[in-house]
A and B are shown apart, each in its own frame.
Chain A
Amino acid sequence: MDFATIMQYAGWPLIKIVILLIPVFTVVAYMVWFERRLLAFFQSRLGPNRVGPLGLIQPIADGLKLFLKEDLVPMNSRPFLFKIAPIFAFFPAFVGFAIVSWALPWVTPSGKVHPFVVADVDLGILFVLALSSLSIFGIILAGWSSGSKYPLFGSLRSASQMLAYEVPMTLSVVAVVLLAGSFRLSDIVAAQEKLGWYYLFPGILAFGVYLVSAVAESNRVPFDLPEGESEIIGFHTEYSGMRFAWYFVGEYANVTLISVLGTTMFLGGYDIPFVNDAALYAAHPELTSVLGVCAFAAKAALFAVFFIWIRATWPRYRYDQLLKIGWIVLLPIALANLVLVALLKLWLLR
């Protein structure tokens, strides 16, 4: 094994992971700040504005506070499972970022192509969906191992909710895959560029289904039954300190991932709106990559603002209503949409 091989299989991916994780962690941390600020603005408040200018150091202060808190393990819990459960919630959300393609590849002067992605997996979307199903283990284990009934009920609610919304979400993603003809995220973006339309328009139903089930998947208002911050008791009742922070960060990472994936699938990913990307890329490749990342971030921010907006507006659904929406409304819509998209693909978009 020579140096180049090691670099290719271990070195470059590791460097890319580090380069990716630093901004992702920052974005996730500042998402919390952004949500608190914006939510406050919706409620005629100002939100956290004391720590640093505009409260920008608030996430660091929060993290420090949670880090220094006592790590309590309840007496009649299962300590081992109780301790590893947060990892299940935390880890899948971050691994999902590995397959996201952030911009058009960067070509070095010597002709080497560096794609802006850690792992451009063929079955990228399937990989993310599989991982996001894994995160339910974190919730169920947390509820079960806490040794208390309230977290157990919280985690059971969460389990049925995630089952109910995993299916429509997958079906809405399948519609996109059908339109693009590939599971690979960079291919999906390329297909949208080629079509000239973002999949928001041919797949408007799929977009709606994805949006609703994405909110439900990430356990946010109006589907935040597993947590139920204000009234009912959620699955992480017994957690404190850093382990609670893992759930918290995992949730926000999930929201970020869902925004990013939704952007890639329905809003054209790193495609710069109103600009012919291919022509620009031929002329200024670096500029296109940088602008592409900016466009990507701006579109994903739209998703984030939307999520916060609905959190500020809508009340929580009752449990039976939630399951009804999942199984009786979203699932048939997603299935019908699948047929529609297939016909569309067959006749119009060939």
Chain B
Amino acid sequence: MNAAARFIKMVTFWELLKGMAITSRFVAKPKVTELYPDVRPVLPYRTKGRLHVEIETCISCRMCEKACPEGCIKVFQPSKEVFKTDKRPVEFYISQEHCLHCGMCVDACPTGSIHHSQEFEMAIYNPDDLLFDKETLPYDLDIKRFRWNFIENVPVKK
């Protein structure tokens, strides 16, 4: 019986046919290819994209500037008089060109003003276009903050 079964398996190329049956199942399965420019990818929540800064909540403490290993942040504090009432920075430069997306500045910020966004398309023709100041800095309150050490900032899924 065993030998007969083996013989039948041999002449019908059973293993090869089994393989073909397995591959044929994949034809109708959903594909893993991402259709990137047409369909935007859903990025993980912790994506370390381009830095966003909320100037309104920034207190010009320059912690981010000190923390940055690349030295690509430059914060100008307002004058002492102004600082007493209005702590927002006079000027805030980020050279996104050198940024490592390491998140050191995000960790260091005491107010959570600086944070990563989900933006990742930063290809440009002129490197100077990646130098942002207070006016051109992307500033989008809709983008949820994420900080590594402030776990309570992570929104709970509803």
Residues in chain A within 8 A of chain B (CB atoms): 38, 40-46, 309-310, 312-314
* A46 near B33: Cβ-Cβ < 8 Å: yes
Q: In the complex, which of the residues A42, A310, A314 contacts B27, with contact meaning CB atoms closer than 8 Å?
A: A42
* 24 A-B contact pairs sorted by A residue (CB < 8 Å): A38-B27, A40-B31, A41-B26, A42-B23, A42-B24, A42-B27, A43-B26, A44-B26, A44-B29, A44-B30, A44-B31, A45-B31, A45-B33, A46-B31, A46-B33, A46-B35, A309-B23, A310-B20, A312-B23, A313-B20, A313-B22, A313-B23, A314-B16, A314-B19
Residue on A with the closest CB to B34? Answer: A46
User: How many of chain B's residues touch chain A, expressed as a range?
Assistant: 10 to 19
Contact A42 B31 (CB under 8 A): no
A45 with B24: CB separation less than 8 A: no
Among residues of A, the one whose C-beta sits closest to the C-beta of B28 is A41
How far does the alpha carbon of A209 sit from the alpha carbon of B129 in the complex, in Å? 65
Asked if B31 contacts A41 (CB within 8 A), the reply is yes
A-B contacts counted at CB < 8 A amount to 35
Cross-interface CB contact of B20 among A38, A44, A309, cutoff 8 Å: A309
Shortest Cβ distance from residue B31 to the other chain A in the assembled complex, whole angstroms: 5
On whether the beta carbons of B24 and A309 are closer than 8 Å, the reply is yes
Q: Given the complex, which residues of A lie within 8 Å of B19, measured CB to CB? A: 313-314
Given contacts A41-B27, A45-B31, 6 further A-B contacts (CB under 8 A): A42-B24, A44-B30, A44-B31, A45-B33, A313-B19, A313-B23
Which chain A positions have C-beta within 8 A of B22?
A: 313
| B-chain residues with CB within 8 Å of residue A314 when the two chains form the complex | 16, 19
Of all chain A residues, the one with the shortest Cβ separation from B11 is A208
**Shortest 4 CB-CB distances between A and B: which pairs?**
A46-B33, A313-B23, A313-B19, A41-B27
A44 to B22, CA, bound (A): 12
A42 to B31, CA, bound (A): 10
Q: Using Cβ atoms and an 8 Å threshold, which residues of chain B touch A46?
A: 31, 33, 35
Q: Which of B30, B32, B33 has the most CB of A within 10 A?
A: B33
Residues of A within 8 A of B35 (CB): 46
Residues of B within 8 A of A41 (CB): 26-27, 31
Cα(A310)–Cα(B20), bound, Å: 7
B16 and chain A: residue at smallest CB distance = A314
List the A residue with the shortest CB-CB distance to B20.
Answer: A313
Q: What is the bound-complex CA distance between A313 and B22, given in angstroms?
A: 8
- Of all chain B residues, the one with the shortest Cβ separation from A315 is B19
